[in-house]
Amino acid sequence: MAATLAETASAGQMKMAESSGRGGQLAAWVTAYIGLGSNLGDRLAFLRQARFALTGQALRVTASSALYASEPVGGPVQDDYYNAVVAVTTRLSPLDLLAHCQSVEMLAGRERQQRWGARTLDLDLLLYADLELALPQLEVPHPRMHQRRFVLQPLCDLAPQLIYPRLGRALSELLVELPDTPWVRRLQSQW
């Protein structure tokens, strides 16, 4: 997982990823990172189910971060979160990967009543190779990930040297600059 995202995808793949959107699969496999969050019901069970359900013909989970508990950021008063990040290798385009993540959220009974409200499962597409994309329905890198310890801490378990595309800085550098609050606590390495 030490390779930069740029090393994982050729320019050709990226062109296809940007243009194809939905539909056909990419010719080659691309590395992406997905953030998992839950603060409703059996949080650990939802994260485990998600990791299992993500795997399919065109997607493999290749690594998991440790499991973290975290203080809710934004939104109404709500319970603490469990958060983690998984690395995947996929032949899905970015939009197909988003659609796949949303179908896995639906399996977990995700309801969207309030932005940043409590949820059984939230799957965020954090990084997709070194792609930068700004569509109404999908922004990559995830627009708030570099400001959030509950994302960067688990992501740095997997890829601390990875360069964050927009800022050109390693994820580990961005992490050390974040304040200690809202708190994030490592619970267990395996889950």
For the bound state, the minimum distance from the C-beta of residue 99 to ligand A4P, rounded and expressed in Å, comes to: 9
Contact partner, 72, from Mg ion, ligand A4P, none, Cβ < 5-8 Å per class: ligand A4P
Q: Is the dihedral of CA 90, 92, 95, 101 positive or negative?
A: negative
Residues binding Mg ion (CB under 5 A): 122, 124
**144 scored as a contact of ligand A4P (CB under 6 A):** yes
Pairing of strands 81-90, 30-38: antiparallel
Q: What are phi and psi of 110, to 5 degrees?
A: -60, 130
* Closer by beta carbon to ligand A4P, 29 or else 81: 81
> What is the C-alpha radius of gyration for the chain, rounded to an integer number of angstroms?
16
* Closer by beta carbon to ligand A4P, 91 or else 148: 148
**Nearest-angstrom CA–CA distance, 176 and 60:** 30
Give the residue at shortest CB distance from Mg ion.
122
Q: What per-residue string of b and e applies to 96-127 under the rule 16 or more CB within 10 Å gives b?
A: bbbebbeebbeebebeeeeeeebbbbbbbbbb
Mind telling me the catalytic residues? 110, 119, 122, 124
**179 scored as a contact of ligand A4P (CB under 6 A):** no
Q: What is the contact surface with ligand A4P in residues (CB under 6 A)?
A: 37, 70-75, 81, 83, 98, 112, 115-116, 122, 124-125, 137-140, 142, 144, 150
